Structure formats: C-alpha cells, structure tokens
C-alpha cells in the first residue's frame, strides 16, 4: 500500500475559500482564532476554560448513553479521563447516514483519532479524546436514508417523521436482506441493538472505532440541554445572534466569498416525538411552524427554563452548543463545514466561549490493486486522475501519438498571408479590407475544422486505450464526483477488513488530498 499526496488545488474539488483558508491567507484570519497546527495546541488549551461540574455533566450523560451497549474498553477509558482537567477533546460530527453513508464519514473519524494520537505523543502531560457528535436532532431524512454499494443504491422507506435519531429502525431489515452478503456489524446494529437510529449509529461507531478510543456523543439529551438555557432565552428575547452572523457573512462576501448558512430571527426548532419544526416569532406570540402550537412570550420563556430539551438548535447554533458541552480544542470537518464555522466566530465571542481550531478532515481516493495496475499500464500519475475526461483524452493522445495535430503554425502562416492581402486591399480599394477579414475568418474556421477531424481520427485510432482511461476515471469518480462523496465504505471494507488500519497511517495535519494505492 502507498499513500501519495496531491495538493488540494490540483484536484479541482475545493472552493476558493477553503483553499485560501488552508494556505492561511491573511484576509481570513479575522474569521477564526488559531490555525490548526500541532504547535498551537497549548495556546488553544490555555483559552479553553472548562469547569469540573461541566465535566461531570458530560461524563454522566455519556455513561447513560452507552448503558445499553457493550462499550469498548478504550472508549470507556476516554469517558473516565474526561473528568480530568488535563483532558481535552478533538471533535467531528455528522448526520446519521444509513450504513455510515459516503466514505467521508469514515475519513472524519480517522482524522480525529489520529490527531489525538499525534497530540498525545507531543504533549504527554495532557490526554486527548476523539469525540464523534452524532447529529441526532437533524430531520432531513432524505439526506441520510440511502447509500451506494457496488453500483446499486439502497434506500430505507419509512413514514416516520421528526428528529432522525429518534426514528425506529423498523424497515431496515429489508435492506439487510438485499445486500450481496451479510455484514454482521449492521445486522446487530439495526436489528439487535438499534431500537433507534441514534443507538444503531453509536453501536456501529463503537464497533468500528471504539478500540481506538472513539467516544460518541448525542446532544439530544435532557440533562445536556440545561447548558443551552441562556442561548434559548436570548434567541427568544431578540435577534442578536442573527445580526452577528449576518455581519460576519457580509464581511466574507465583501472579500469575494460565499456563505454556507443563513441565520434566522430564531435559530431554534421545537422538538417532540415525530416533530421538529421551526419556532417563528409573530410579535406577541411564538408559533411552531406547520402546527397549531402557539406560546405567548412568558409561556415560551417558562418552557425554556423548565424543559430546554424541547428546543433544538439549528445549524447556526449547533456548533456553539457542542462547544459548550465539550473541553474541545479543534473541530475537524469538510470544506463546507469549515466555511460555515467561519461565519460563526462572532457568536462564540458574544457568549464568551473559546472558538475551536478548524481543521480539515482527511481526504482519500482509494484505488484497489486491479485499478492500480491499470494506472501503471496507462502511464499516468496520481494528479492526472483528477483531470476532466476531455483533459484525459488530450493527455493520452499526447503520450501515445507521434502524430502532430495542432495547427498553430498553419494559423500563424494564414494570418501572415491575409495581413499581406489586407495591405494590398488597402492600396487597391479600402472597401475590400472587410471582405478580406471575413475570408480570413472563414479560412481560419476551415483549419479549425480540419484539426477537429484530425483529433477524431486519432481518438478512433487510440480508441481502446482512451476508453480504458475513461472507464478508470468513471470507476474512481462515480457519478462524476469524488469517490468519498458517493461510495459506501463497504465497497472496500468487505474485501479489505484492514482498510481502517491502513487509513490510520495518514497524517491529519497534512492537508493534502491522499491517493491510497493498494497493491
């Protein structure tokens, strides 16, 4: 196995904002606190104030959440260490994708685990625990109810509504029966241990990563929501948070960047069984969208005090809630996540919460042994794989064709001839100049058409090799997107149970794209 790095900008897969961020462009420094580096960790630790009672609240909730599964010893040790004031977390989060969804969920998890391992070696007086925040309160079921395996899409159909973490796993057995082979991990998660999607996801992550010390946290917890009371009340009383984010977003837009999140006057949902709907301020009362539920101002403030668990933060407030609960130093996420975090620093300043380092997750392109051999045979390198189909065709023809099909010399000669003709036309009759220019354009078009015919003829001559190259591109970039955004990890894990340990050899503080060549 080889891991070959590719500079992020050479992949064509990332936004300008993301590329400018990882290159530490000065204009963006106002939107974050410390850049994610090993050297900045102690400075981040000094800024993170986290009291003993906060640690107790967190560990009690985690032990309760793990009470119905057999927790891995390393994960249990991590929970216990969180009581220590020298213990900190590195965190990522994700939706509860069915069967883990696209590959990048795995890459996120590997990144936080590896980051903790590296930091433990560098700073032995501290402990670092990798924490995975499961987005159980999300209600966008269409985003999580399917996955792609061996070219087929598997979809979970259910009429259940509300926060996805509370959904019963009923109906998933149909998908399990359709899989090309049984996978015990998912059989147990969804049929035996997964009465809800939240519990099933925790089980899966515990089985895959618990031995590495991964701890899974669910924010949909009545005891944990107690810390959110001041934020809930401030959202009800006014639109301060909305204005803060809008101001930051405007500053980013003035620099030529686009925001990812758009704040509302109230960035909270109303959360009950089978229901997660926006809370809307309508002057003298507050209405729950798409329902008949209405509260007066005094009633909803009393609800916030007595039952904060019925309030669910949206994408604008969820990061703040997370950082209020954890002794966290860094959040590891994808390009879109890091973009919207950059919009939120003002909220953290407002509430006096340390803004975490924003660290890119790991990015991989996995190439199995058979495709690795094809790459060698086709004589291309890892950077070439990210080129478009048109660029790959031209690259192949350049490498394998001795014929010269470009017509720059002919165009140059043509321009010279017609300039001479235009000079003569000016002497004879100036009205002939426009005619001569038109004929020059027509002649140039003829040469272009001849060149296109040459290219088509060469493509036909090398059709077999070109089709092999295009076929390889389509396999490695399914649905014309990055493999990690489409394929499920079972595409590789079934045939390579050591896949995760191989991914663990990558350095998460190296922000280049990694091509993993299997031999």
pLDDT tens digits, residue range 35-60?
999 999 999 999 999 999 999 999 99
Q: Which residues contact 416 (CB under 8 A, 6 or more apart)?
A: none
State the pLDDT confidence band at 246, using cuts at 50, 70 and 90: very high
Query: Two tokens at 319?
Result: 């990061």
At residue 160, φ and ψ (nearest 5 deg) are -65, 150
Residue 67 has pLDDT above 60, yes or no: yes
- Asked whether residue 98 falls in the same domain as residue 112, the answer is yes
Q: Which residues contact 208 (CB under 8 A, 6 or more apart)?
A: 106, 109, 185, 500
Give domain status of residue 273, yes or no.
no
Helix (DSSP H) and strand (DSSP E) numbers for the chain: 22, 15
Buried b (16+ CB within 10 A) or exposed e, 175-204: bbeebeeeeebbebbbeebbebbbbbbbbb
- Asked whether residue 29 falls in the same domain as residue 77, the answer is yes
Higher pLDDT, 114 or 394: 114
At residue 171, φ and ψ (nearest 5 deg) are 105, -20
- Asked whether residue 45 falls in the same domain as residue 85, the answer is yes
- Asked whether residue 409 falls in the same domain as residue 463, the answer is yes
Mean pLDDT on 412-425: 80
Residue 75 has pLDDT above 60, yes or no: yes
pLDDT of amino acid 413: 81
309: DSSP letter: G
Mean pLDDT on 68-96: 97
Rounded to whole angstroms, the Cα distance separating 200 from 187 reads: 10
Residue 113 has pLDDT above 60, yes or no: yes
Mean pLDDT on 478-504: 95
- What sign does the CA torsion over 482, 486, 492, 498 have? positive
- Asked whether residue 82 falls in the same domain as residue 174, the answer is yes
Mean pLDDT on 387-400: 86
Give domain status of residue 68, yes or no.
yes
Give domain status of residue 443, yes or no.
yes
- Asked whether residue 78 falls in the same domain as residue 135, the answer is yes
25 three-state secondary structure? coil
Rounded to whole angstroms, the Cα distance separating 189 from 191 reads: 6
Strands 268-272 vs 215-218: parallel, antiparallel or unpaired:
unpaired
Give domain status of residue 302, yes or no.
no
pLDDT of amino acid 412: 80
Q: How many CB atoms lie within 10 A of CB 505?
A: 12
Please give the residue range of the domain that contains residue 33: 2-228+314-363+498-517
- Output the average pLDDT for the chain: 93
pLDDT of amino acid 462: 66
CA distances from 406 to 409, 453, 472 (A): 8, 11, 27
- Asked whether residue 347 falls in the same domain as residue 427, the answer is no
- Asked whether residue 461 falls in the same domain as residue 326, the answer is no
Instruction: Write down the H helix ranges in 402-431.
Output: 408-428
Rounded to whole angstroms, the Cα distance separating 507 from 519 reads: 20
- Asked whether residue 470 falls in the same domain as residue 418, the answer is yes
Q: What is the pTM of this model?
A: 0.90
State the pLDDT confidence band at 32, using cuts at 50, 70 and 90: very high
Half-sphere exposure of 392 (CA within 13 A, CB side): 24
Confirm if 209 and 227 have CB atoms less than 8 A apart: no
Buried b (16+ CB within 10 A) or exposed e, 351-360: eebbbbbbbb
- Asked whether residue 382 falls in the same domain as residue 457, the answer is yes
- Asked whether residue 324 falls in the same domain as residue 471, the answer is no
Residue 407 has pLDDT above 70, yes or no: no
Q: Is 394 exposed, middle or buried (0-12, 13-18, 19+ CB in 10 A)?
A: middle
Give domain status of residue 150, yes or no.
yes
- Asked whether residue 323 falls in the same domain as residue 454, the answer is no
Number of domains in the chain: 2
């Amino acid at each position: 196995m080889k891991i070959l790095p590719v500079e992020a900008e050479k992949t064509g897969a990332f936004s300008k904002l993301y590329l400018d961020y990882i290159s530490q462009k000065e204009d963006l420094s106002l939107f974050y606190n410390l850049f994610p580096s090993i050297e900045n960790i102690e400075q981040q630790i000094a800024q993170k104030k986290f009291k003993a009672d906060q640690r107790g609240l967190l560990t009690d909730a985690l032990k309760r959440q793990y009470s119905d599964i057999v927790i891995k010893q390393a994960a249990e040790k991590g929970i216990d260490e969180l009581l220590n004031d020298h213990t900190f977390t590195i965190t990522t989060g994700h939706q509860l994708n069915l069967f883990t969804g696209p590959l990048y969920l795995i890459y996120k998890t590997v990144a936080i685990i590896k980051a903790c391992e590296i930091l433990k070696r560098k700073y032995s007086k501290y402990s670092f625990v990798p924490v995975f925040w499961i987005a159980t309160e999300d209600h966008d079921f269409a985003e999580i109810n399917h996955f792609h395996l061996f070219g087929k899409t598997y979809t979970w159909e259910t009429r259940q509504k509300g926060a996805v973490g509370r959904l019963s796993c009923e109906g998933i057995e149909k998908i399990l029966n359709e899989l090309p082979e049984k996978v015990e991990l998912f059989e147990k998660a969804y049929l035996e241990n997964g009465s809800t999607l939240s519990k099933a996801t925790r089980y899966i992550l515990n089985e895959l990563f618990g031995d590495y010390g991964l701890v899974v946290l669910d924010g949909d917890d009545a005891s944990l929501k107690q810390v959110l009371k001041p934020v809930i009340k401030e959202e009800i009383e006014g639109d301060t948070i909305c204005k803060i984010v809008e101001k930051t977003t405007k500053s980013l837009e003035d620099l030529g960047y686009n925001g990812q999140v758009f704040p509302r006057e109230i960035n909270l949902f109303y959360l009950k069984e089978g229901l997660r709907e926006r809370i809307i301020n309508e002057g003298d009362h507050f209405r729950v969208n798409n329902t008949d539920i209405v509260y007066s101002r005094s009633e909803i403030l009393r609800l916030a005090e007595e039952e904060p668990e019925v309030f669910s933060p949206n994408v604008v407030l969820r990061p703040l809630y997370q950082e209020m609960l954890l002794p966290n130093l860094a959040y590891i996420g994808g390009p879109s996540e890091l973009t919207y975090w950059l919009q939120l620093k003002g909220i953290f300043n407002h509430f006096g919460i340390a803004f975490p380092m924003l660290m890119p997750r790991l990015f991989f392109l996995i190439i199995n042994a058979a495709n690795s051999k094809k790459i060698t045979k086709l004589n291309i390198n890892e950077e070439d794989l990210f080129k478009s189909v048109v660029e790959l065709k031209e690259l192949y023809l350049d490498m394998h064709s001795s014929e010269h099909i470009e017509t720059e010399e002919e165009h140059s000669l043509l321009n010279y001839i017609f300039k001479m003709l235009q000079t003569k036309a000016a002497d004879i009759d100036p009205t002939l100049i426009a005619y001569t220019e038109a004929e020059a354009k027509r002649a140039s078009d003829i040469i272009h058409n001849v060149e296109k015919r040459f290219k088509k003829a060469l493509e036909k001559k090398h059709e077999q090799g070109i089709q092999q190259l295009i076929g390889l591109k389509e396999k490695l970039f399914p649905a014309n997107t990055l493999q990690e955004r489409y394929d499920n990890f079972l595409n590789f894990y079934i045939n390579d149970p050591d896949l995760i340990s191989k991914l663990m050899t990558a350095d998460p503080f190296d922000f280049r794209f990694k091509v993993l060549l299997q031999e």
